[in-house]
Amino acid sequence: MPYFDDGHTALDTNLLDKFDIPGLSLVLINRILDDSQEDLVIHASSDVISSSFTALNILHAAGFQISRNECPYFGSRRCLYKIFERTTEINLRKLAETASDSATKVVEVENIFNNCGWSIIKDRQRTINEGHRAIEKQILKTEEDKEFKYVLTYIKDQSGNARFVLITYPNRGRLILQN
């Protein structure tokens, strides 16, 4: 059976830092593994249930994984986690504030587009006419700022329906806006 590292398994752990803001809690752990290897793990959780885009969504888009088990650092809640090399410098305050600010900006963009009749597809499993199966695709414009890359594309699907698709790339994740 293959070994699955959920960010919790270790011979010993040391709590290095903890930071909380409304809607997001972060814990930085030093893990001691077999053969005296060590790494760092950030665990993230929230006690806020929201149907809107949250800081946890931003962290997930940035490569944090969903734990299969309850997290010992957050009581009975599950967490997102990301493993780093021991030498990585990590500032939990900056990470939490940046993720929270980014989520707020995504919600602002979501509201603007919703008012225009567009919708944001947050679920990566959905593939309803979002451009990946288009028979005709034309990139109209690409722009970047310090947080996102935007690609405006004109597509036609197999049924001949045409639409504009705006794909927004935050870090490593992807949001897709469609009309």
**In this predicted structure, which of 4-13, 19-28, 84-93, 116-125 has the lowest mean pLDDT?**
116-125
Provide the pLDDT confidence category of residue 27 given band limits of 50, 70 and 90.
Answer: very high
Q: Which residues pair with 14 in a beta bridge?
A: 30
Closest alpha carbon to 54 in 110, 112, 93: 110
CB 135 within 8 A of CB 158: yes
pLDDT tens digits, one per residue of 129-174: 455 567 788 888 888 777 677 788 888 877 777 877 777 776 554 4
pLDDT of residue 2: 44
pLDDT of residue 119: 63
Closest alpha carbon to 150 in 168, 170, 177: 168
Q: Which residues pair with 70 in a beta bridge?
A: 78
Domain boundaries, the chain: 12-108, 118-178
Cα–Cα dist 132/124, whole Å: 12
CB 167 within 8 A of CB 131: yes
Q: Evaluate the CA torsion angle 49, 176, 126, 2 in order and state its sign.
A: negative
**In this predicted structure, which of 5-14, 115-124, 126-135, 159-168 has the lowest mean pLDDT?**
126-135
CA distances from 122 to 72, 119, 167 (A): 28, 9, 12
pLDDT tens digits, one per residue of 81-96: 999 999 999 999 999 9
Sort 168 into a burial class: Cβ within 10 Å, 0-12 / 13-18 / 19+. Answer: middle
pLDDT of residue 177: 47
CB 176 within 8 A of CB 121: yes
pLDDT of residue 123: 42
CB 26 within 8 A of CB 44: yes
* Residue ranges in 42-163 assigned as alpha helix (H): 55-61, 92-115
